[in-house]
Amino acid sequence: MKSFSNTYIFVFSTIMVVIVAALLSTAAMVLQPLQEKNIEIQEKRNILSSIRIKSSAKDAEELYEKYITGSFVINTVGEEQEGVDAFEIEMGSQMRKTLEQRTLPVFVSSLEDGRKIYIVAVHGKGLWGPIYGFVALNEDFTTIYGTNFNHDSETPGLGAEINTDWFGAQFADKKIFNKNREFISIDLVKGGADPESLNEIDAISGGTLTSDGLEKMLYDCLGSYQTYFKNQMKNNK
């Protein structure tokens, strides 16, 4: 076997690393716009799914234009913020800020029957990684119209069930405020939710930590919006 000097080994590895780095960064730069477009389309599909509209990668943009009629950004005391695009806001980094500093996106959708739906973003921690999604509320800012939850790495068949239809369907018509307009969020209940209850839904068996994470996510995120919701309820009256 040929023997190589240490200097040769160092030079060889350095050259290899430089070539590889150059190759990979070129590829990343060239492909980035396409990848970002895909992520944007996925985001639009998630928003559409929260108002119970099924879309594919092809028709997502068209349906989004049709149903999502507006969007704005608010702070946690319910004031609208100028000059920020709701679509650009990353809920994950907002939730890491203190309550006062958060800016929160709201998307407005007009359904075919003329109803207005307000869609808010949520972001939290599951068992293995982030979980995130959208919650769509009716005009009363209390009743949930639909939800869409996603995750990066929850356990298939257990925690990953949060983005299935059966799980999402449970949220419809649940309320996040009680009669006295106190914020109660949504409770994920073990061992069967009371069907009469305003805000209880079934947690996922075997997915306790993901369920807990989801419950906390809803409490924290919807909680950040609650001042805005309350203001709107007063205005509606």
Partner 1 sequence: MSDREPLFSSKNIKLLTNPLNVDNPITVQVLGICSALAITVKLEPSIVMAISVIVVLSVSNVVISALRKMIPPRIRIIVQLMVIATMVILVDQVLKAFAYEVSKQLSVFVGLIITNCIIMGRLEAFAMSNRPWPAFLDGIGNSAGYGLILIIVGFLRELLGSGEILGYPVFEKIGIYNIGYENNGFMILPPMALIIIGVIIWVQRSRTKELIEEN
Task: Please say which residue, 46 or 94, places its beta carbon nearer to partner 1.
Answer: 46
Q: Does 25 bind partner 1 (CB under 8 A)?
A: no
The DSSP letter of residue 29 is: H
CA angle 118, 171, 164 (to 5 degrees): 105
Stretch that binds partner 1, among 1-9, 88-96, 132-140, 168-176 (CB under 8 A): 1-9
Closest CA relative to residue 125, chosen from 145, 96, 161 = 96
In whole angstroms, give the CA distance from residue 80 to residue 84: 10
In whole angstroms, give the CA distance from residue 49 to residue 40: 14
Q: Does 93 bind partner 1 (CB under 8 A)?
A: no
Answer for the pair 198, 112: CB distance below 8 angstroms, yes or no: no
Q: Which amino acid is at 142?
A: T
State which of residues 14, 18, 23, 80 lies at the interface with partner 1 (CB under 8 A).
23
Stretch that binds partner 1, among 20-28, 69-77, 112-120, 198-206 (CB under 8 A): 20-28
In whole angstroms, give the CA distance from residue 30 to residue 78: 41
Answer for the pair 119, 136: CB distance below 8 angstroms, yes or no: yes
Tokens matching residue 192: 């069967």
Residue with tokens 């839904």: 201
Residue 133 beta carbon to partner 1: minimum distance, rounded to whole angstroms: 16
Residue 4 beta carbon to partner 1: minimum distance, rounded to whole angstroms: 4
Q: Does 18 bind partner 1 (CB under 8 A)?
A: no
Residue 23 beta carbon to partner 1: minimum distance, rounded to whole angstroms: 6
Would you call 136 helix, strand, or coil by DSSP? strand
Q: Which amino acid is at 8?
A: Y
Stretch that binds partner 1, among 26-34, 87-95, 106-114, 171-179 (CB under 8 A): 26-34
Q: How many of the chain's residues bind partner 1 (CB under 8 A)?
A: 23
Answer for the pair 44, 119: CB distance below 8 angstroms, yes or no: no
In DSSP terms, 148 is beta-bridged to: 134
From residue 46 to residue 85, the character string flagging contacts with partner 1 as x (rule: CB under 8 A) and all else as - is: -----------x----------------------------
Task: Please say which residue, 167 or 219, places its beta carbon nearer to partner 1.
Answer: 167
Stretch that binds partner 1, among 3-11, 135-143, 171-179, 204-212 (CB under 8 A): 3-11
The binding site for partner 1 (CB under 8 A) comprises 1-2, 4, 8-9, 12-13, 16-17, 20, 23-24, 27-28, 31, 34-35, 38-39, 41-42, 57, 153
